[in-house]
Amino acid sequence: MAPGHQRELESLQKQLQEELDKLKNVQKDYQKSLGNRQKLESQKNENKMVEEELNRLDGSADVYKMLGPVLIKQDLEEAKQNVAKRMEYITGELKRTDDIIKDLETKQDTHRETLGKIQQKFQQAQAKK
């Protein structure tokens, strides 16, 4: 095998490994973002249930908020506002996380495409032996 051909194969192999490492990193970030999204969705559902319960109460009902091991009396309207703010925040975080996931999906596709092209070049170079 000619030295130039050997260097070409080594270069392509190095490119393959680098691109594969990039893809693995993006996949790792993607899985982490999916986990974050799942947590946010769970928080959203939990707060939705709290919101529904608070909406069933009349103005004379006592509402308590847990602070550590202690229950603190809280105004019903204040409790509703707090839940509404949390819902707004969670909804915003879900949108942000969805945007990140979409971006990571695009990056994965790009890395897979690049990997395919490098693999093709590598196979062609090997066939030249």
Q: Which CATH number fits domain 25-123: 1.10.287.370, 1.10.10.10, 1.10.10.350, 3.40.720.10?
A: 1.10.287.370
Strand segments, DSSP code E, in the chain are 63-67, 70-74
Look up residue 34 and give its two tokens. 């999916």
Nearest to 16 by CA among 85, 109, 116: 116
Per-residue pLDDT, 9: 85
Per-residue pLDDT, 128: 77
Per-residue pLDDT, 1: 58
Contact 65, 58 (CB under 8 A): no
Per-residue pLDDT, 129: 62
Q: How many whole angstroms separate alpha carbon 104 and alpha carbon 46? A: 28
Per-residue pLDDT, 21: 97
Per-residue pLDDT, 109: 97
83-96 average pLDDT score: 98
Provide the whole-model pTM: 0.83
Percent pLDDT > 70 in the chain is 98
| pLDDT tens column, 40-87 | 999 999 999 999 999 999 888 899 999 999 999 999 999 999 999 999
Contact 57, 76 (CB under 8 A): yes
